[in-house]
Amino acid sequence: MQIPLQITVRHMAPSDALEARIRDQAAKLEEFHPHLVSCRVTVEEIARHQQQGRQFRVSIEARVPGQELVANRDNHEDVYVALRDAFDALARQLEDEVRVKRGDVKSHKPS
């Protein structure tokens, strides 16, 4: 990555384990797209319900040359599951971007 990873944690106490997991997952993104420019991860607790427990939102914004990709996961009770799901969604977007650049995906001509 050309720009260092940016991690923001809102409305909850920061955790070394959470930061380590984010850094590990972000490093894996470079395997999917070799020209990843930047990655910004935001983790926040959005609600604390007495009956439903804690709810989290994970948002990941990644830049590749010519495009910005975003993956969001809302309302999950486990922050690590929400984090995993968001990184998986972004990895799929990066794979699709690489396929388009390589020409593996046919584009339809506008009519």
pLDDT in tens, 63-92: 998 899 999 988 778 899 999 999 999 999
Cα 54 to Cα 13: distance, rounded to the nearest angstrom: 13
Residue 52 has pLDDT above 80, yes or no: no
Sheet containing 38-49, strands listed edge to edge, beginning at the edge strand earlier in sequence = 6-10, 38-49, 53-64, 67-76
- Predicted TM-score of the model (pTM): 0.85
**pLDDT-wise least confident of 9-13, 95-99, 102-106:** 102-106
Cα 70 to Cα 82: distance, rounded to the nearest angstrom: 14
What pLDDT, on the 0 to 100 scale, is given for residue 97? 87
For domain 6-102, the CATH class is alpha beta
Residue 108 has pLDDT above 90, yes or no: no
Q: Are strands 53-64 and 38-49 parallel, antiparallel or unpaired?
A: antiparallel
What pLDDT, on the 0 to 100 scale, is given for residue 103? 78
